[in-house]
Structure 1
Amino acid sequence: MNQPQTHTTLLGYLKWSIIATVVGLALGAVLGWQTTGSIGGMLTVFFICAVLAVLEISLSFDNAIVNANKLKDMTPVWQHRFLTWGILIAVFGMRIVFPLLIVVIAAGIGPIDAVVLAAAQPEEYARIMNEAHLPIAAFGGTFLMMVGLTYFFNHEKDVHWISVFEKYMSRYSTIKGIEIAFVLLLVLVFSSLLEGEESDTFVMSAIYGLLTFLAVELIGGLLDASQQAMTEAARGGLGAFIYLEVLDASFSFDGVIGAFALTQNLFVIAIGLGIGAMYVRSMTIMLVEKETLTHYRYLEHGAFYAILILSVIMYVQTLYHIPEVITGLGGASLIGLALWSSIRYNRAEQQRETDLSRGHI
């Protein structure tokens, strides 16, 4: 579905994100003053909130591009629902409820007790979260890897950025289950590098991640097929919405866990990552309305390469700690290179058209 281009400025798209930034940082400063009672403590919490917001933006820019790719085919009603309900689920569900749910399951305590634990014993709360990192990384890494591979293993894909890889992947995409076989091979490799219970946990979590991807694809296909049978205009509805929510959750895993390296305060993490999530929403809207993916043909490729890199990093993090700054910069660098390649292609096309019009070719 093609969106009419708008004349909204960059500042117009970022209006609500800027408001969320001001409110969030103010809340962070108040929280810092209440918990430490000092100017230094207040400034420290203020700074951590700002750093977490930047971390979330850097880790999730590829998320915004993938969201825009899916949203452009959704009806305006479902676009609006995702950009309103979806952002509420992303901010409150993944940044607050998800970490609490992990503690509830891991510690075997109630939700209220988990909130009390986060407020009164942040060190213990952080310890439980860190212990849950392995299954989360295996689950999220597997889901994201399937997302990335499904994009490249597509026989209908005829635009290639890094042709040496993409042409072969497109050619062999007709082999049924090739993406699943590739992921399962990696799961076996990484599980062999772990020992005992950790290896079993990795395999089981990765299997659940794979099954979740297949289930979301199945549900999305069934829902969209039934909607298409009713009316062509209803396509890209609930199925796409569910897919984007699970995708956002997978992207959020790394940011939520990585945030505990900066602070053990759940509420500070929620503020910082919540601010970042608002910018991801703003970027998604801008990419859809400006039809940026149409104008920059390789930008989407860069995002899916970044997804594949992130999925591998999540696997590697089960063995070694990788600083979040490397993860964020890696994804941003790939997207930057894709943007640069797109600009070069556009200039070359413009020059070719100019030469044709002048009769030079």
Structure 2
Amino acid sequence: MHIALVIYGSLDQTSGGYLYDRKLVEYLQKRGDTVTILSLPGRSYGASILQNWKASAFDYGQFDLVIQDELLHPSLFWANRLYQAGPPMLALVHHLRVSESHPAFLMPLYRWIERSFLSSVDGFIFNSSATLLSVQRVFPNNRPYVIARPAGNFPKLNRAGTTQGQGGLDILFVGNIIERKGLHTLIQALIDLEQKGHSPVRTLMVVGDSSVDPTYARRVDRLAKQLPPGRVQCMGKVDDERLLSLYQSSQILAVPSQHEGFGIVYLEAMGLGLVPLASRDGGAVELIDDGVNGFLVSPGDYARIAEIIARLGTDPVLLQRMAKASVEKARSFPDWDESMEGIYRFIHDLVGDSGGGKSR
């Protein structure tokens, strides 16, 4: 089968969504399908809307199936309406823009555009049950779908070996340096602990691209300067070997995002014996049993984050017990091949049932 995958930019970008897309392409090719990448340049939201004219020139007729990363919804919501015939189109949904925090006056526009895109496709590939529910809230429908949860990039441990380093906790943050990921909330929690005079934290290591939102990156830098020198160490983008080393030297992964469709980084860290601290808004609830193998916090609740860090920093037995539970939970999740096989069967059944044509 010949499949088109529509994305922004190239597949080698460093985010969980692009990792998922790469794994999907690799698996489909391994199973004998041909995958062609159709790309649009990444732009601001307003400029992306203007790219509908460019997307309308894509020749979908040469493909048996078109998969569109939902990230492109502003560039495709109108262009998709122009295709009255042709192969089935699926949306690959990592998370919705309307699940994020934006200025209130813009939300009706974002919701209308996103709903228009979702209603223009024939079915869905979801990375979590939480993402499925998010779509149903925006666009209630009974179109075919599959849920294929991600896996991590590193082999899972057979047992946890996490112990607190001498001198305090080493906490790891992994994600692009953008407001949605909540790094400012995490640093504010460390400031709160420092001001109370009993911080158990030795270092916060920050891995991620700071060029995505330079204004926000400067805001985070100003916050970090309120902590003792060296407390926050910004590593920038790192390769897999370096990231694995940072996982292995840390005890806690803290990424208190506003929302995550799934959160590959949580699963990855859990498989390596870290205790995750994540947002309760989104797919992390499918991974983390609050207080058992990690912690879930409300977006922006730095006081609760500080409380959790203080507790883990003073109770090494609890830290070790939760690290072990974290590994056990991660090992219960499928690997990439198992998840991608679910997508492979779904799309082949869909194309067979539709006779190669659109079903909506």
**Whose RCO is larger (CA < 8 A, sep 6+)?**
1
Name the structure with the higher strand share.
Answer: 2
Common fold by TM > 0.5: no
Name the structure with the higher helix share.
Answer: 1
TM-score scaled to structure 2, two decimals?
Answer: 0.29
TM-score scaled to structure 1, two decimals?
Answer: 0.29
